[in-house]
Amino acid sequence: MTPQDFSSLASGRSLTRTLSSKTIFSNMMTGLAFACAVIALIPLVAVILYVLINGSVRLGPQLFTQLPPPPYQPTSPQFNSGGFGNAFVGTLMTVGIASLISIPFGVLAAIYLSEFARDTKIADAVNFMTNVLSGVPSIVMGVFAYGLIVLYTKSYSAFAAGFALAVLMLPTIVRTSTEALESVSGELRQASVGLGATNFQTVSRVILPAAVPAILTGVMLGVARAAGETAPVIFTALFNNFWNFDVWKPTATLSVLVYNFAVTPYKNWQELAWAAALVLVALVLVANILSRWLTQRKR
Of residues 97-126, those binding other proteins (CB under 8 A): 104-106, 108-109, 111-113, 115-117, 122-123, 125-126
Question: Is 1 near other proteins (CB under 8 A)?
Answer: no
Among 3, 12, 37, 186, binds other proteins (CB under 8 A): 37
For other proteins, the binding residue among 135, 186, 194, 265 (CB under 8 A) is: 135
Site string for other proteins, 185-224 (x = CB under 8 A): -------------xxxx-x-----------------x--x
* Distance, CA of 61 to CA of 205 (rounded, Å): 42
From the list 24-32, 58-66, 89-97, 207-215, the region that binds other proteins by CB under 8 A is 24-32
10 binds other proteins (CB under 8 A): no
Residue 164 neighbours by CB under 8 Å, 6+ apart: 98, 138, 141, 142, 144, 145, 232, 233, 236
Shortest distance, position 7 Cβ to other proteins, whole Å:
18
Sorted by sequence, the CB contacts under 8 Å of residue 14 that are 6+ apart come out as 8
Answer yes or no whether residue 235 interacts with other proteins by CB under 8 A.
yes
Identified binder of other proteins from the candidate list 174, 214, 223, 252, rule CB under 8 A: 174
| Neighbour count for residue 40 (Cβ, 10 Å) | 9
The interface region with other proteins, picked from 84-92, 182-190, 208-216, 230-238 by CB under 8 A, is: 230-238
Cα separation, 35 vs 11, in Å, equals: 38
Report helix, strand and coil shares of the chain as percent, to nearest 5.
75, 0, 25
Is there binding between residue 133 and other proteins (CB under 8 A)?
yes
Q: Dump the DSSP string for 190-208.
A: HHHHHTT--HHHIIIIIIH
Closest CB 64 distance from other proteins, rounded Å:
19
Of residues 63-102, which lie at the interface with other proteins (CB under 8 A)? none
155 binds other proteins (CB under 8 A): no
Calculate the CA 43 to chain-centre distance.
18
Cα–Cα distance, 83 to 48 (Å, whole number): 21
